[in-house]
Chain A
Amino acid sequence: MGRFKKDEKPKVPSINTGSMSDIIFMFLFFFMVITTIREATLHVRVVEPVASEVQRLERKALVSYIYVGPPINVIYGTEPRIQLNDVYANLSDVGEFITIERLARNEIDRQFLTTSLKVDKNTRMGIVTDIKQELRYASSFRINYATRKGEMFRN
């Protein structure tokens, strides 16, 4: 008789949340490994063109970026502008920028410094050609046209 007492409420066992933090930490480390810290705040709109024959940029520490595109804030107009680091720049600043970037690198690695041109696809080639000329005179010959990977002739 006494074995079938029912007035005791069944207790739901508490869930051990101790391992939850481990799982979240695992997520955290996963994201830390696969992502990179944003290198600059973009002030220009860059929609990269699509290309199929792309190569991965290796050794990111040896890459300096030049952004070209129409300003995001319309008060600066719609003409494509050059962005170096975090600010708008003129064409004449490119050479100095490359020199500073080069000095910041290890002496052995300087020859491998690559300039990644992140140019909006609607830009005219004039400004890109000018930058390329500046890079040539700054003796920075390795360049990379940043593109998205995709099939050509999608349209």
Chain B
Amino acid sequence: MELLFIHRLANSLKNNFMAKKTPELNTASMADISFLLLTFFLLTSSINTDLGINRLLPPPPDPEHKQDDVRVKKRNLFTVLVSAYDQLLVNGRPGNIKTLKNEAKEFISNNYNDPGLPEKELTYIEHIGNYEVSKGIISLQNDRGTSYDMYITVQNELTAAFNELRNGLAIEKFGMAFGSINFDCQQAIRTAIPMKISEAEPRDLGGRK
């Protein structure tokens, strides 16, 4: 009798808690919904990584404070002029865009201490030690008629000159490329080879708008 009771109890428990099967959810439409979301995001978004050449503009000239032109020795100046017809005038002579980078590198580094190329100043830089920092400045001037494409090409070549010099110094001092050394060392190299590209106040010469 007792045995039968226990058996019944067990059966009822089984019926109440175990035998009930949860019905399966139909998830077929879930994929459709997520596809819909996916297409929505594909349409509204774009994979544009913003790349570009970074520059720092100089503050505007102060009209009250008389601009006394900072005299720069001729040997310390490397002038690049881009005409309205996209021609180059490098240091007063017609230049070629393909040799511009190497000319700029030669100018900045002045490896043989040529008296016609920029002066150097021995400075102590942390992580590097004593280094002869070049006083060279690259002056870039363009015309209103210069094409943007040419302007960017020139900017790119000048940036490339500095980047290659920095890379070379990084390999010489730290044995690694500029991009893979730590921030402090990068800062040290930035002080050793400062990117001095000065842009002159704009003027209108070519007349081609």
Residue ranges of A at the interface with B (Cβ–Cβ < 8 Å) = 17-18, 20-21, 24-25, 27-28, 31-32, 34-38, 49, 51-57, 60, 63, 114, 116, 119-126, 128-129, 132-133, 135-137, 139-149, 152-153
Interface string of B35-77 (1 = CB under 8 A from A): 1011001101111111111111111100000000000000000
Known: A18-B30, A55-B51. 14 other contacts (CB 8 A): A20-B30, A21-B31, A27-B38, A31-B38, A53-B159, A121-B152, A125-B144, A126-B209, A128-B151, A133-B202, A141-B57, A143-B57, A146-B50, A146-B51
Q: Which residues of B contact A135 (CB under 8 A)?
A: 57
Query: Do residues A143 and B55 form an inter-chain contact, with CB atoms below 8 A?
Result: yes
Query: Do residues B41 and A31 form an inter-chain contact, with CB atoms below 8 A?
Result: yes
Q: Which residues of B contact A28 (CB under 8 A)?
A: 34, 37-38, 41
User: How far is the CB of B106 from the nearest CB of chain A, in Å?
Assistant: 18
Q: What is the bound-complex CA distance between A148 and B157, given in angstroms?
A: 15
Query: Do residues B44 and A129 form an inter-chain contact, with CB atoms below 8 A?
Result: no
Select from chain B the residue with minimum beta-carbon distance to A68.
B148
Query: Do residues A35 and B41 form an inter-chain contact, with CB atoms below 8 A?
Result: yes
B146 in contact (CB, < 8 A): yes
Q: Which residues of A contact B48 (CB under 8 A)?
A: 36
Query: Do residues A24 and B41 form an inter-chain contact, with CB atoms below 8 A?
Result: no
**4 tightest Cβ-Cβ pairs between the two chains A and B:** A126-B144, A35-B45, A21-B30, A57-B50
Q: Contacting B50 at CB < 8 Å: which of A24, A56, A125, A129?
A: A56
Tally of chain B residues near chain A (CB < 8 A): 51
Query: Do residues B50 and A31 form an inter-chain contact, with CB atoms below 8 A?
Result: no
Select from chain A the residue with minimum beta-carbon distance to B30.
A21
Q: Contacting B53 at CB < 8 Å: which of A53, A123, A132, A137?
A: A53
- Chain B residues 1 to 57 lying within 8 A of chain A, measured CB to CB, are 27-28, 30-31, 33-35, 37-38, 41-42, 44-57
Query: Do residues B45 and A31 form an inter-chain contact, with CB atoms below 8 A?
Result: yes
Q: Which residues of B contact A32 (CB under 8 A)?
A: 41, 45
Q: What is the bound-complex CA distance between A43 and B143, given in angstroms?
A: 27
Query: Do residues A122 and B47 form an inter-chain contact, with CB atoms below 8 A?
Result: no
Known: A55-B52, A125-B148, A153-B98. A145 touches B155 (CB 8 A): yes
B130 in contact (CB, < 8 A): no
A-B contact count (CB 8 A): 160
Describe A's contact surface by its main secondary structure.
Answer: mixed
B142 in contact (CB, < 8 A): yes
Residue from A32, A60, A121 whose CB has the most chain B CB atoms within 10 Å? A121
Query: Do residues A56 and B49 form an inter-chain contact, with CB atoms below 8 A?
Result: yes
Known: A36-B46, A116-B50. A51 touches B148 (CB 8 A): no
Q: What is the bound-complex CA distance between A102 and B87, given in angstroms?
A: 38
Q: Which residues of A contact B163 (CB under 8 A)?
A: 53
Residue from A119, A125, A140, A146 whose CB has the most chain B CB atoms within 10 Å? A125
User: How far is the CB of B146 from the nearest CB of chain A, in Å?
Assistant: 4
Residue from A37, A116, A142, A152 whose CB has the most chain B CB atoms within 10 Å? A152
Q: Which residues of A contact B59 (CB under 8 A)?
A: 136, 139, 141
Q: Contacting B148 at CB < 8 Å: which of A52, A122, A140?
A: A122
B123 in contact (CB, < 8 A): no
Q: What is the bound-complex CA distance between A128 and B153, given in angstroms?
A: 15
B149 in contact (CB, < 8 A): yes
Query: Do residues B146 and A125 form an inter-chain contact, with CB atoms below 8 A?
Result: yes
User: How far is the CB of A137 from the nearest CB of chain B, in Å?
Assistant: 5
